[in-house]
Amino acid sequence: MTKVLVLYHSAYGHLETMANAVAEGAREAGAEVDVKRVPETVPEEIAKAAHFKLDQKAPVATVAELADYDAVVIGAGTRFGRMNSQMAAFLDQAGGLWAKGALHGKVGGAFTSTATQHGGQETTLFSIITNLLHFGMVVVGLDYGHAGQMTLDEITGGSPYGASTIAGGDGSRQPSANELAGARYQGRKIAETAAKLKG
C-alpha cells in the first residue's frame, strides 16, 4: 500500500482543515495516510496572545520519518510571499536526508493559505516546491481536472501549483467547499501518482 504523509503548519486552523481534506483525497485513492504537523517555534505565551489554534490533534513529525513515505504533501501558510518560518525551519533540518538521496523519486505536493487573494499563494507554493525539487521529488500540483480553480462565481483559492484557501485579514473566512474539493483532488492525484511510481 502506498504511504502518504500530509505535513502541515497551521497557526489558525485553516491549513489543518486543508490538510485533512488532502488526506481524505489520498485515502480515496487507496493510500495509507498520516497527517502530522511540524513543531511550533513561536513561544506559547505569544501564540496564545496571537490566538493561535493550540488544540490541534495531529502528532508532531520528525524529519527522519519523511523517508518512510512514498509521498509527502506539505502545507504551510505564507509569510511575505514564501513559506512560514516554522515549516522552513523543519525542512532546513533535512540536510541528512538530502545528502543520502533519501527522498529521490518520491512524490511531493504543496498547499497553502493566505489572508488575501493576492497575498503570495503562488510564490509560497513555489517556495515549498523548490524544497521538494532539491530533495529530488516528483512534484504533483493541482491540475485543471479540478475545474473549480477556474471559477469566476466566487472568490476562491487554488492554482496549478497547489490547493489553497483564503483566510481573510482577520482569519474569519474558513476554507470553502470548492477549496476543500481542490485539496481532496490534489491529495487523490498525489496518491495515484505515488502508487504508479512505486509500481
Can you say which residues are annotated as belonging to the binding site for substrate?
Answer: 98
- Would you say 105 and 136 are in contact if contact means Cβ atoms under 8 Å apart? yes
Question: Residue for cell digits 513555489?
Answer: 126
- Burial of residue 144 (CB within 10 Å: 0-12, 13-18, 19+) is exposed
Binding positions for FMN are: 10-15, 78-80, 134
Annotate 119-172 with DSSP letters as a single string. SSHHHHHHHHHHHHHHTTPEE----TTSGGGG-SSS----BTTBEEEE--TTS-
Residue ranges of the binding site for NAD(+): 12
Beta-ladder partners of 110: 74
Q: Which residues are annotated binding-site positions? A: 10-15, 78-80, 98, 134
- The dihedral over CA atoms of 125, 128, 130, 131, expressed in degrees to the nearest 10, equals -170
3-state secondary structure of 104: coil
Cα–Cα dist 192/127, whole Å: 24
